[in-house]
Amino acid sequence: MEKRTVLIIGATGSIGTQSLDVLKKLDGFKLIGFTYHSNFDLAMKIKSEFPNAKMLSTKKDLERFEDFMDELKPEITIAAAPGFAGFELAYKAIPYTKRLALANKEALVCGGKFLKKRIRDYRVELIPVDSEHSAIFQLIEKGIEKIAITASGGALRDWPIENLKYAKPSDVLKHPVWSMGKKITVDSATMFNKALEVMEAMELFEIPFEKIDVYVHREGMIHGMVFLKDGTVKVHASVADMRIPIAFSLTYPDRLYEFPEFPEFSSLTFKKLSKERYPIFFLSEYVKDSHSLRTAFNAADEIAVKAFLNGKIGFMDIPKVVEKVIENINISEAKSVEDLKTTDKEARRLACEITRSC
């Protein structure tokens, strides 16, 4: 049988390398191409393990990206580059692929309506990779009243609130449950990641904001729940390992990946989010209905997190920077991806000014 062809955008990252790991274990799939940004050494190592795959640096040869996609026309594209840049690449890839396995959550948060239109126009399948969304995707059926996604609480979940302002990057980068890239690990500690994920779920499942609950679930075993109108709640559980949802996005509707472990259930806890501990999460209420505001929200966080990681601002300044940017930015609703790019730039400029970090 012909193998299914796969291309990874952002192969040198956390999702990218775990996708490679899955591909090594799955029969019937073949890596034909990948992009990296700046990690040339790792890209060369990947090339030596997958000698038939073509590679492209999005830092050096960004303008060649669409030709690269056109030349390879992968059946499945894993979109695993981060941020607004990752959205643009996922968006550009759509005409050249049949399935978009989407890890980059910013694509739906910033560009949801544009991305979904393009997906429909080119009849591409959109399969979520983000673990909570993969969970909901596997549970979804007619008659949904509401859904819930879970959060680990991040690295500082047990810190007294008054100490959070002293947290250093090294404290924040120790994630208790998942192993991920730096940006998303900081976003887990502030709960910005969950703000993005609620909007990602709104777009993916066309469910209103008010019908998406978030629980802090320390054990990291339950990832999503759907509440059905007859009183039933369906729950998705697995070990917290991104290779499981990555594999499912490749093999769906089949389950071909073998994973050796199940969660060991003992006590399971679920708590509502505290506004004092996670103020940034609650800003999502203000931006949720506008793609432009969501884009500004995201851009401001990208700059604020960078400033925090570089020691320019404190941990609890991250939400303050984001709030200032979304309050002060002057925007109208985007009519195109170009409009979003303008908003993204302007929000970055404002955030740079506020943090004096770039």
Q: Which residues bind ligand NDP (CB under 6 A)?
A: 10-16, 36-39, 58, 80-82, 85-86, 89, 103-106, 130, 178, 180-181, 184, 242
The nearest distance, CB 178 to ligand NDP, in angstroms, is 5
- Least distance CB 208 / ligand NDP (angstroms): 23
Q: How far is the CB of 221 from ligand NDP (least distance, A)?
A: 16
End-to-end CA distance of the chain: 52
Contact present, 119 and 202 (Cβ < 8 Å): no
Q: Is 130 in the site for Mg ion (CB under 5 A)?
A: yes
Binding segment for Mg ion among 23-31, 85-93, 126-134, 249-257 (CB under 5 A)?
A: 126-134
Report, in Å, the least distance between residue 88 CB and ligand NDP. Answer: 8
Helix (H) or strand (E) holding 135: helix 131-139
Residue sitting closest to Mg ion (CB): 130
Q: Whole-angstrom Cα distance, residue 301 to residue 320?
A: 10
**Choosing among Mg ion, ligand NDP, none, which partner's interface includes residue 103 (Cβ < 5 to 8 Å by kind)?**
ligand NDP
State the minimum distance, in angstroms, from the CB of residue 47 to ligand NDP: 13
Pattern 132-161, binding to Mg ion, x per CB under 5 A?
x-----------------------------
Say how many residues make up the chain. Answer: 358
Q: Which residue is nearest to ligand NDP (CB)?
A: 13
* Cα three-residue angle 316-317-321, rounded to 5 degrees: 135
326 binds, among Mg ion, ligand NDP, none (CB under 5 to 8 A by kind): none
Q: Are strands 76-79 and 4-9 parallel, antiparallel or unpaired?
A: parallel
The 8 Å CB, 24+ separation contacts for 73-76 are 73/5, 73/97, 74/5, 74/6, 74/7, 74/32, 74/33, 75/4, 75/5, 75/6, 75/99, 76/4, 76/5, 76/6, 76/7, 76/29, 76/101, 76/249, 76/250
Return residues touching Mg ion (CB under 5 A).
130-132
